[in-house]
């Protein structure tokens, strides 16, 4: 698959809550469900990442669940299945990160080794802790996202799933990066100099 197609699908997935919000103002949920089904099939067909493949069969599960959500919205003509899709995506990431803790190397270690192939044992321990932090984030994200599906308006659902969750994810990523550069790596340099 071409890189442009992968980028386009990634952008569509990122903009999914906003597209659903505006789509619901123009179309019945059952028609948007067809778009969700197409997105789920396309996304599953282009997912070739070895990191994602760490959990065998995960994308088959995500495909089946995603198509089930699309079918729910199509046959009931409700937005419930459409709104649950971000929950399923976060649950998929949680599954990958959690699985990698029981079947090392962890996801964060794999990413770290792309930059530093000879990661020292302290780095492996640190990346394991960071993977656990991301697991906690995904659990929290799932709970909040699920809350917005059940108890909030479409506007609040869109705001959280289309903006706030991304800001929280970015904040966690940037915070960990700063902590690693300013504390962890500096401490490692100081320990080597002793």
pLDDT per position as a tens digit, 3-36: 888 788 888 888 999 999 999 999 999 999 999 9
Q: Where are the beta strands (DSSP E) in the chain?
A: none
Choice between 9 and 90, residue whose per-residue pLDDT is larger: 90
Average pLDDT value for residue range 98-126? 91
Please measure the distance between the N-terminal and C-terminal CA atoms of the chain and give it in whole angstroms. 51
Q: Is the pLDDT of residue 192 over 90?
A: no
Please report the pLDDT score of residue 1 as a whole number: 53
Cβ neighbours, 10 Å, residue 177: 10
Residue span of the structural domain in which 134 resides: 3-193
pLDDT category at 50 given cuts 50, 70, 90 is low
Q: Per-residue pLDDT tens for 169-179?
A: 999 999 998 99
Of 68, 45, 62, nearest in space to 96 by CA: 62
Q: What is the mean pLDDT of the segment spanning 160-181?
A: 95
Q: Is 35 exposed, middle or buried (0-12, 13-18, 19+ CB in 10 A)?
A: middle
The reported pLDDT for the residue numbered 12 is 87
Distances from the Cα of 31 to the Cα of 10, 68, 87, 108, 181, angstroms:
21, 15, 21, 38, 48
Give this prediction's pTM.
Answer: 0.88
Q: How confident is the model at residue 56, as a pLDDT?
A: 59
Task: For residues 61 and 57, give the distance between their C-alpha atoms in angstroms, rounded to a whole number.
Answer: 6
Average of per-residue pLDDT across 113-120: 89
Residue 95 has pLDDT above 70, yes or no: yes
How far apart CA 1 and CA 4 sit, in angstroms, is 8
Q: Taking residues 43-61, what's their average pLDDT? A: 67
Q: How confident is the model at residue 188 (pLDDT cuts 50, 70, 90)?
A: low
Backbone angles phi, psi at 15, to 5 degrees: -90, 5
Taking 90 as the threshold, does the pLDDT of residue 53 lie above it? no
Report the number of distinct structural domains present in the chain: 1
Interval 130-139 mean pLDDT: 98
């Amino acid at each position: 698959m071409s890189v442009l197609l992968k980028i386009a699908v990634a952008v569509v997935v990122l903009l999914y809550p906003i597209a659903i919000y505006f789509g619901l103002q123009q179309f019945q949920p059952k028609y948007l469900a067809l778009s969700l089904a197409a997105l789920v099939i396309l996304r599953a067909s282009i997912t070739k990442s070895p990191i994602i493949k760490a959990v065998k069969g995960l994308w088959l599960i995500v495909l089946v669940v995603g198509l089930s959500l699309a079918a729910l919205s199509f046959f009931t003509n409700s937005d419930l299945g459409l709104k649950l899709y971000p929950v399923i995506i976060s649950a998929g990431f949680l599954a990958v990160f959690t699985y990698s803790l029981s079947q090392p190397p962890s996801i964060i270690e794999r990413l770290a080794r792309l930059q530093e192939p000879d990661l020292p044992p302290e780095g492996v321990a640190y990346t394991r802790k960071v993977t656990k932090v991301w697991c906690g984030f995904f659990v929290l994200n799932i709970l909040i996202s699920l809350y917005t599906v059940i108890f909030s308006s479409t506007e609040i659902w869109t705001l959280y799933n289309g903006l706030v969750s991304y800001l929280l994810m970015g904040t966690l990523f940037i915070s960990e990066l700063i902590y690693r550069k300013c504390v962890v790596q500096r401490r490692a340099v100081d320990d080597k100099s002793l």
